[in-house]
Structure 1
Amino acid sequence: MAVRDVAVLGLGTMGSGMATRLLESGYRITVWNRTAERAEPLAEKGAHVATSVQDAAAGAEVLLLSLADESAVDDVLFGGALAAAGPGTLVVDTSTVSPAYARRATERVAAAGAHRVEACVLGNPLQARRGELRVLAAGDELDIRRAKPVLETIGHEVYELGPAGRGAAMKLAFNLLLGAQLASLAEAVSYGESAGLDRAMLLSAIAESGFSSKVMSFRAALMRDGRFTPPAFRSRLMEKDLRLVLAEAATADLSLPVTERAAGQFAALVDQGDGDHDAAAVCRLFSTTP
């Protein structure tokens, strides 16, 4: 029988986007978020708003998590939702965590009689609302098969990567690349400005060149316009993900000097108060232009 009842726990920009997509695709959706007002737009579209995480989890066939970090997963999933969920509940976790944490979480969920599918996603909030994400799925093959209808609703591509931890590893590899690109773009602009080049012209030229990418073009426009809110991907989450990469690399005795430098830049950005701005705000470390 196809899954129809999904509880979405975590309504940041990505969680809200995925919940909207599922709701508009015919799923019965229950939503919960620590900040209750984030649920109001979804309630207006027909979603049931739970009063607690336990209320959200009770009776749901699937718990779809979209949470900021490992601490939030601990609090929400292991601090209430899992205990309230019924036997056999499928946990589809889109949160970005370390591979080691993903493996431990999968074991803990299994010990509670439920099933966890890692479903890290690549894309932005608009793509989430349109069902255009790329989903990096890992876990038991049968669990992934059961989750497929949900995964294929939120994403136009689903990669099946094998055991738990591999989805997190692939997501972090992508975010490593994103962080390094943004840090290097900010430095390139800083260098160009110091040589007398017009900042807006330089950013437009880079965005339209063969040196660019979809991600770099998007962030170059944000840098050019000084438009860092609402964030497509918060700077503090970029910094968190780079820290996760470096911690995993250390356990493998792997040196990642470029990532170390980028992580330091995003840490400085968070320290100066830009943590909730888009990661493109890293340019503020090098320029006096807002």
Structure 2
Amino acid sequence: MNVLIESVAVLGLGGMGGGMARALLHAGLTVTVFNRSAEKAQPLVRDGARLARSAGDAGAKAGLLVLSLADEESVEELLFGEVLPWLQPGTIVVDTTTVSPLYARDAAARLDAVGVERLEACVVGNPDMASAGQLRIFTAGRKSTLDTAEPVLSVLAQEIRYLGGAGRASALKLALNLLLGIQTVGLAEAADFADAAGLGRELLLDVVLSSGWRSPVLAYRAEFMRRRVYQPAGFRTTLMHKDLDLAMRQAQDYRIELPLVRQAARRFETAIERGRGAEDAAAVMEVAAQA
């Protein structure tokens, strides 16, 4: 492996970030971790990760920095506000945060201006897949940057695909997540309809998951709905709503309408208002039941 990327830093240790850090550790890489809530780092430290004193300290000696943050504001605050002055020229920033294509292109240009390379990474999967190194990763940016980073990414992924210039992976991620949001709301409403008809959500979920309607994505959300337990979250309701909002704002630039996305976003917004923002997005099922 290229000596520059034997040392990897991971900033943001939620379900996906923590899972990716764990996969990197299991592969024998030197991994430095940082999270604003330090307690999330402790299991990784026990597994051999180095805990950074600050976000800047995490990136200072890393050849490759993985970002797994909540939103554009977090990237702006952590990467550009704290970490960037610490990064050495040639450092690769693999940003898995879901952001708009416009922000992705802007971030790439700003990093490029100071000699730091940005690789946009759309990660598809869940925290268990991240820990097992079974994600699918769709990348954008310079192909040469991917070529350098690929030995590290291969630890995390069963598939790595290059899509082209900056912004393209972000556009794909928003397209996938808007589909996820619509499907999750659709499954919740179907289960709610079955409940109202006296069939019960369990019957509906069993039929869906043993028929042509089954998919790994729906099966993952359906298990939360079946158990009526929505933590620990695979994908928080707040993040789902954020991504649907990003997709709608981007659609305005494309001059297209997304009416189903708008309706799904309203349902997730209601879930957040009812205190379910930190729960898995499947908790929208309980909002449907209360409506």
Give unpaired runs (5+ residues) of structure 1.
none
Contact 2:191 2:200 in 1 (8 A): no
Partners of 1:266 and 1:168 in 2: CA distance: 21
* 1:154 aligned onto 2:156: yes
Aligned to 1:67: 69
Partners of 1:33 and 1:82 in 2: CA distance: 16
Partners of 1:30 and 1:176 in 2: CA distance: 33
Aligned to 2:257: 255
Q: How many residues align?
A: 289
Partners of 1:217 and 1:45 in 2: CA distance: 30
Per-residue deviation, 1:13: 1.1
Contact 1:204 1:221 in 2 (8 A): no
Per-residue deviation, 1:227: 1.7
**CA deviations over 1:211-232 (Å, ceiling 9, x no partner):** 1211112211211110200000
Per-residue deviation, 1:288: 4.9
* 1:243 aligned onto 2:236: no
2:51 to 42, 49, 52: 49
Name the SS for the 2:274 alignment partner: helix
* 1:281 aligned onto 2:256: no
2:175 to 170, 173, 176: 173
TM-score, normalised by the number of residues in structure 1: 0.97
**CA deviations over 1:221-258 (Å, ceiling 9, x no partner):** 21111020000000100000000000000111101111
Partners of 1:199 and 1:23 in 2: CA distance: 40
TM-score, normalised by the number of residues in structure 2: 0.97
Matches within 5 A, 1:74-223: 74-223=76-225
2:230 to 220, 228, 231: 228
Partners of 1:120 and 1:29 in 2: CA distance: 21
Partners of 2:69 and 2:136 in 1: CA distance: 18
Partners of 2:71 and 2:46 in 1: CA distance: 28
Name the SS for the 2:249 alignment partner: helix
Matches within 5 A, 1:24-39: 24-39=26-41
Contact 1:138 1:167 in 2 (8 A): yes
Partners of 2:200 and 2:104 in 1: CA distance: 45
Identity rate, percent? 47
**CA deviations over 1:121-164 (Å, ceiling 9, x no partner):** 00011100110000010000101111111111111100100001
Per-residue deviation, 1:6: 0.6
Q: How large is the Cα RMSD of the aligned pairs?
A: 1.2
Partners of 2:290 and 2:257 in 1: CA distance: 33
**CA deviations over 1:71-128 (Å, ceiling 9, x no partner):** 1000110011111011111111111111111000000111121100001200011100
Contact 1:91 1:116 in 2 (8 A): yes
Amino acid at match of 2:194: G
Name the SS for the 2:213 alignment partner: coil
Aligned to 1:17: 19
Amino acid at match of 1:24: H
The structure 1 segments of at least 4 consecutive aligned residues displaced by more than 2 Å after TM superposition are: none
